[in-house]
Amino acid sequence: MKRYDGAVAVVTGASSGIGRRVAVDLTDRGATVVGLARRGDLLAELQPTIKAATPASRTQTCDVSDERAYRQVLAEIAEEHGGIDILINNAAIEQLTPASDPERMMEGARRLFATNFFGLVAGTLAVLPGMIERRSGIVVNVSSDAARAPEPGHSAYSASKAAVSAFTEAIAHEVAASSVHVHVLYPGWVPTAMGMSGFGEGDTLPPKPVRRTEEQVSQLLLNRMGGPRIEINAAWLPLLAPIGRTVLPRAYQREMRRRFAAIG
């Protein structure tokens, strides 16, 4: 099990779901963690847990969609600890953005991109100079399988996550010579509050090959980040989506349109 003793890590979206699990597991592996999120009440519940493992760990409220505030928080953490070794950009939001409602679509797209993409970009660019100077560091940007297989009704979310994937891969190539590792994480489908949104009682959940628990995703991430691969894939089945779209386009389209009819 890979250790992170002495490392300073920042985890966004740490109040619940994957972010909370990663924050806890990083402290269990020796890292000092600062967990960021918007919901202060949930962060207050998390703080004693991470401090028990590494006493310098703490939480702080921060909305990453406020780029200036997010950069300022990162600068303060770097000054407090002498640098940031790991940044996990996990914070994200989701909402339906149907094309049948253009006003709702545009409003939702701006809101989703502010958190899911532009906040993530701001955080990544804030920590990279210090990492490049020290020739050491890890950035993980959490994407989604919706980036590979965009779902009807979720166009803005899918687009924001596709932007995350493209941005992360390009940046990873740029900083590789500096021994800085930049990864994009595809967690599969995880039954977090956001993952379960849109599912009602009795609805069919995604197939088992794409399902993962928070713990499974966290352990996989902590074991693989810092390695040579840009992509960290928690589930293999979604990797077939681009192939299916190419080889069997009509069947793929029928399935996507069936899903849209189900949520409509």
Q: How confident is the model at residue 236 (pLDDT cuts 50, 70, 90)?
A: confident
pLDDT band at residue 213 using 50, 70 and 90 as cut-offs: very high
Amino acid in the structure at residue 170: A
If one compares 106 and 199, the residue with the highest pLDDT of the two is 106
- Give the mean pLDDT of 82-93: 98
CA 146/CA 159 separation, integer angstroms: 8
Per-residue pLDDT, 45: 97
Read off the pLDDT of residues 16-45 as tens digits, 9 standing for 90 and up: 999 999 999 999 999 999 999 999 999 999
Give Cβ neighbours of residue 172 (< 8 Å, ≥ 6 apart): 181, 182, 183, 184, 230
Predicted confidence (pLDDT) per residue in 113-161, tens digit: 999 999 999 999 999 999 999 999 999 999 999 998 888 889 999 999 9
What does the alpha-carbon distance between residue 164 and residue 63 come to, in Å, rounded to a whole number?
A: 18
b/e 14-53 (16+ beta carbons within 10 angstroms → b): bbbbbbbbbbbbbbbbebbbbbbbbeeeebeebbebbbeb
Banded model confidence at residue 197, pLDDT cuts 50, 70, 90: low
Residue 81 has pLDDT above 90, yes or no: yes
pLDDT at residue 243, rounded to an integer:
80
In the chain, the largest separation of any two C-alpha atoms, in whole Å, equals 56
Domains of the chain by start residue, with CATH: 8-263 (3.40.50.720)
Mean pLDDT of 87-95: 97
Lowest mean pLDDT among 26-40, 188-202, 225-239: 188-202
**Amino acid 74: pLDDT:** 98
Percentage of the chain surpassing pLDDT 90? 76
Q: What are phi and psi of 137, to 5 degrees?
A: 155, 160
pLDDT of residue 220 exceeding 60: yes
Residue 57 has pLDDT above 80, yes or no: yes
At 198 the pLDDT is: 58
- Residue 258 confidence class, pLDDT cut points 50, 70, 90: confident
What was the pLDDT predicted at 172? 98
For residue 199, pLDDT over 70 is answered with no
For the whole model, what pTM was predicted?
A: 0.91
**Where in the sequence numbering do the catalytic residues fall?**
143, 157, 161
